[in-house]
Amino acid sequence: MTATLSTRDRTPRTRGENADLMHVTIVGSPIGLVLVARSALGLAAVLLGDDGDELRQELRRRFPLGMFAGADPALDRVAAKIVALIDEPGRAFDAALDTRGTPFQQEVWRALRAIPAGTTTTYSDLAAQLGRPRSARAVGAACAVNPIAIIIPCHRVVARDGDLTGYRWGVERKRALLQHEASARRDR
């Protein structure tokens, strides 16, 4: 599961002046709706929810200068692969990612991608792995703003006592994703 992580110049600009053009689709999945957005640089958002309008509003908040277009056949194929990852989490997924965040967030998101499906780690263990043992809360904050659910698997990070805390798209979705992964791991 290799993907290219890229950052972009965040120079403020006006809507329409080199604004991001993103193709967007919303598909159903075993855990609710999945909004998938792709910029010219790669996959920019995978958002989870129950209401398509709320997902579109969240996308607009994340990309206030964005110009949004409908899906195309290539994006529909990517969305189908993302949904398939829910039931088959060990499946290969190789696509460019257009992640936008601070250097620390980027570092956390790269580390999240290295957590194998069907396993979990803790916020404090991930912070220690990054060489920042006192940064468990910052790791949690980076997980909370992860724009690419499932592909950047922040659901695999749990509290030190094993509690499923703080998942941006709801603890029940986190539990469902982890259960799908555990089941897939047992079936191998």
| Nearest residue to 159 via CA among 173, 139, 145 | 139
∠ CA 48-181-58 to the nearest 5 degrees?
10
Gap between the Cα atoms of 105 and 54, Å rounded: 25
Ordered DSSP codes for 81-97: HHHHHHH-TTS-----B
Catalytic pick from 55, 154, 157, 164? 154
Does residue 154 have an active-site annotation?
yes
Residues in the chain: 188
Whether residue 163 contacts residue 151, with contact meaning beta carbons closer than 8 Å, is answered with no
Query: From residue 86, how far is each of 30, 39, 151 by CA, in Å?
Result: 8, 23, 10
Longest Cα separation, the chain? 51
DSSP assignment, residue 116? P
DSSP assignment, residue 43? E
Instruction: Give the position of tokens 């899906």.
Output: 71
User: Annotated active-site positions, please?
Assistant: 154
